[in-house]
Structure 1
Amino acid sequence: MTKLPVKTLPSGDNGRLLVRLNHKYREIVPRYGFAQLTNAKNANAVNVLLLGHDDDTAIFMPYDIRNALGVSKGGELKFTVKKVGATSKVLWLLRSPDPAVHMPALLAAASVLLGILSVLIALLG
């Protein structure tokens, strides 16, 4: 388990639901990878999009993720990082509160379902 102070995201990342964490703490999760971030103190867990950061002395996250993990800005977070599978990635995309993320995901899911439906109709017809 790793313990780092929690800081806010850099100004260029405002409004984005992601966590910036130095590569040495991300284990096998690549840049732009999805992972489950778990607070060891209260067992709160959240699936997040991980990006890197040059600063290896802190973890950077927005208010919504801090709130879900039960940690405050400036506090310390003892955490674990676990890579998640494809199903968790799709669910994260569909459940994201950010319309710039969930609307394209919903349209893509609807397109796949309509494609499957059209193939079934063609096979049965």
Structure 2
Amino acid sequence: MVRLNIKHRAGVERYGVARLTNNANGKSLNVLLLGHNRDDAIFMPYDIRERLGIAKGGELDFSVRKVGLWGLLSWYVRSPDPAVFIPAWIAVVGLGLAIAGLLLSALPLVCG
């Protein structure tokens, strides 16, 4: 979760997922964006700073890009937050089982 003023969010709405790129080293990460009032600061947790190679309180040259449906889905299943990735993986397994059930139920119609 990254807190960023709305004028720096590149059209990504509150609670939207965006690709945040550290232009200094090219490292990027899909993150959940929230807002705050200061337009001269970006707030992010330790894990995200480490993965982007950013020092606490340091200057950041970054770019924000809105992700599509695939980026959103990959954020859900790759999120380090158990409250996010556990329900996402349950949904993926459920979808897989539903597709397998449809294929198995259609098998007698095709073969018979």
Please classify the TM superposition score into its range, dividing by the shorter chain length: over 0.9
Aligned residue runs from structure 1 range 82-93, under 5 A: 82-93=65-76
- Which structure shows the higher strand fraction? 1
Q: TM-score scaled by structure 1?
A: 0.83
Q: 2:29 maps to what in 1?
A: 46
Aligned pairs for 1:1-125 within 5 A? 18-125=1-108
* Sequence identity (%): 55
Unaligned runs of 5+ in 1: 1-17
CA distance in 1, matches of 2:105, 2:74: 29
Q: Structure 1: which 4+ aligned runs deviate by more than 3 Å?
A: none
Which entry has the higher C-alpha Rg, 1 or 2? 2
Q: How large is the RMSD of aligned CA atoms in angstroms? A: 0.9
Matched pairs, number: 108
Point out which structure has higher relative CO (alpha carbons under 8 A, 6+ apart): 1
Q: TM-score, normalised by structure 2?
A: 0.92
Aligned to 1:30, what secondary structure does the other structure show? coil
Q: Which consecutive unaligned segments of at least 5 residues does structure 2 have?
A: none
